[in-house]
Structures are given as C-alpha cells and as structure tokens.
Amino acid sequence: MKALQLEMALFRVEKVVAGSETKLRDGVLSVDQDELADKVRTDERLRAVEVRVANPGDSVRIVPVKDVIEPRLRVSGEGYPLPTFPGMIDKAAQVGYGRTLVLRGAAVVTAGAILGFQEGFIDMRGPAAQYSPFSQTHNVVLVCEPVPDLPPHQHEEAMRLAGLRAATYLAQAALPLAPDEVETISWLPTQGGAPNGGRLPRVGYLYMLQSQGLLHDTYLYGADAKHILPTLLSPTEAIDGALVSGNCVSACDKNTTYHHQNNPVIMELCQRHGRDLEFVAVLITNENVTLEDKRLSSSRVATLGGMLGLDGVIISKEGFGNPDTDLMMNCSKLEEIGIKTVLITDEYAGSDGASQSLADAHPAADAVISTGNANQEVELVELDVVIGDPDRLPALAGATGTDNRIELQAVTGATNELGFSNLTARWQ
C-alpha cells in the first residue's frame, strides 16, 4: 500500500493587524475587515458580523468564545484551491494527502451572542491568559449577531460555517508566497516491523468525539458523529479538515476545530511510527447518551481493536460527567481482550482538589494522564477591551459568583483532554 503523505506548508504569522487589504508579508497578516465581514455575511442567518483582531499581550478579553480554527487552504499540485473542510463549506472530498497551506500562529475565533452556558473566554493578558493556548495565537475574531429568534441549532451552524469560511479566506493570503517551512507527515498502515527485524508494538488511538446532541456535536466529513458507529480514520485525515467542532461543551475541555487540526497525540504517534511503535490507525468513536448505545459503541471499539491486532490503545475523551462512562467502557472492554490502554482526561475535583475526579471509574483504568482540575480557580483582572459581550462572563459555566474569581472550566482550552494545553503534571 502506498503511504499517505501530507505536506503542511507553514507560513509564520507573528502579528495580525487591520488593513485595507488581506495579505501576508514578513510575518504580519493584514486583514481587510470589511471584505471578510462581507464574505461571512453571505449567510442570511447572520444579521451583523464585526471583525476584530487580538494579539498576545494585548489588554483584551474575548467572550463568549464558540470555536477556534486555524486558517488553512488545501491546494492542488498546480496551486489551485481544493475543498478544505469537506462536507461543511465544501463539497465532499478526500483529505489527508497532498498539500495544505497553514497560517501557523494565526487563529479565527468565533464569538458573539451566547449559544450555551458552557461557552468560554480567552484573555490575551493577565492570570487567565497563561491557561489558554489561544492567548498565544494571533486572533482574528468574528463577532456574529444572528437574526432575531433564530433557533439555537441554526445559530450554531451559522457561526460554525462563518468560522470555516473565514479560515479559508485568510489562508488564501499565502497562495502567492513561498512557505517558511514544509512539514511532511507520512503514514503507511503496515510498517513491517522494527529496523532490527523485531516486531514493533501495534498502537491505536481511540479518539472519543463529543456527540451527545443539544449543541454537543462533532462533524466527520460533514456527518454528525452521533449518527455513526465507531470507524477508522487515517491520522492524516484527522488533522487535515475531516473533523470540525460544533459543540458547546465546557470551554476548558472542548476540542475546538483548532485542536482537531493540531491533535498532539496524532502528531506524536506519527513521529514515532516505524521507530519504536507501529501507529496502526485512528479509531473514531462517539460519546453516547443512552446506556444501551454506550454498550454498543464500546463493544464495537473492542471488536475493531481486536481485528487490527492492537497491543495498546491511547484513549482521549471530550467533556466530563456522562462521557466518563464511555471512557471506562472503552477502556475495560479493550483491556478484557488483552489490549493495554492509557487514558487522557481532565478532572472535576472541586476547587480544593479533594472531591471525586471522575463520574465513573473501573479497576482496568490503571494508566491515566490528567490534564488538570477544571474546578481550580483563577483570578480575573480588568482588561481595557472586551470583544463580544462582557455581560455574559458571569453566566458561563465555572463562574463563581464573585467579580475576581472564575474556574478554569470557563477558560477556552485550559484542560484540553488531548493534552493541548499549558498545564503539566509532576510527581510528588
């Protein structure tokens, strides 16, 4: 079988500014705010769109945040644009190979009228900034106002598509330029053993997607993940636009589209593939609502793991509470057939860290990586500029009822369960 090869043409962005045209020059991304707003306002469900910029260190708070997307554009060998988010704003198309232009260091942030109380905020300066990786990205913010009485699911979809359109629009600024760096990711399903002739451990990655409905959704090639059975995906597909966030789960541990595009578990396993392990496949599974569906999906996960002859599986989840049961079922059923597991999860252990961390547990879950305690509190400071709606901050999940404290639960990306965060762990 021929290896899947994805070329990521990286264009470094070191600052975003408002300008009279959208262009990238010497690391500065200039954005024509009016033109970008016009592109986004083609969706009749949005009454108004305001475009703002925010750079690391600015005295700026963005609230409420819906999604974060890295500006990207897939191109043909001749340099013509190709579908970048297939099944969403583009027609159905295969991704995971070829060439993708990436504005590394830039991000599109969708904000504005609140959809669900589990949205979050990003501070570009101050104590809360250190917990969000998006305080270090150069952000183009879309503040979207829906038409009156728009149903929540239509509101969410309009904002989701607005962010994806903006991401592809901005990436077009790289079309006439030579990249600063090209990162090539190759993946061949069967490596054929270790260089010394031995057998490499066969490792899979179980990618649990938030898919419980009621604005808790993830999309795979445009398909709502709550309607799928566990399936297989190549690593390069997963990071090249096949997965898009549509969920309003707690801000600290939701996987934004940016997280899917830059999944650190997949990137690390790809780097080690053929060296000290064989990265066999990404297993996509949903997080279900009913107990019967949880049993069905987790049994299907174990069947796929057995069919692939896996020795071990890394499991990440998204969200907390109800998905903890999916996590434990996936873990225990894989372990039952002899496949070792490592779990990645955050915790909700109370502000003092003394409460039970997870809603479910199992003796088989004996190798767990914590990405932090979402109930930990952080100081809120007054910033000069608020992009969005400052009155929504006290309504977010994690708000403490005091003016100067808030839980990490409300900080976008603070305890992300892919490990894409600024928190770390240490032995005591």
Question: pLDDT tens digit string along 129-170?
Answer: 999 999 999 999 999 999 999 998 899 999 999 999 999 999
Cα gap 103→228, rounded to integer Å: 32
Q: Is the preceding peptide bond at 363 cis, omega within 30 degrees of 0?
A: no
Residue 422 domain flag: no
Q: Is 248 a catalytic residue?
A: yes
H helices of 228-368, where? 235-238, 257-261, 264-272, 291-307, 323-336
Residue 38 domain flag: yes
- pLDDT-derived band at 202 (thresholds 50, 70, 90) equals very high
Arithmetic mean of pLDDT, 48-62: 97
Residue 269 domain flag: yes
Residue 199 domain flag: yes
Which of 139, 222, 141, 168 has its CA nearest to residue 39? Answer: 168
Cα gap 15→27, rounded to integer Å: 7
pLDDT value at 196 more than 70:
no
Residue 421 domain flag: no
Please give the tally of structural domains in the chain. Answer: 1
Residue 415 domain flag: no
Tell me which of 248, 252, 270, 331 is the catalytic residue.
248
Residue 137 belongs to what domain range?
Answer: 4-410
Residue 427 domain flag: no
The alpha carbon of residue 413 and the mean position of all alpha carbons in its chain are separated, in whole angstroms, by 9
Which of 187, 300, 275, 183 has its CA nearest to residue 234? Answer: 187
pLDDT value at 403 more than 80:
no
pTM exceeding the 0.85 threshold for the entire prediction: yes
Please write the tens of the pLDDT for every residue from 348-391: 999 888 899 999 999 999 999 999 999 999 999 999 999 999 88
Q: DSSP characters for 1-35?
A: -PPEEEEEEEEE--EEEEESS-EEETTEEEEEHHH
Residue 308 domain flag: yes
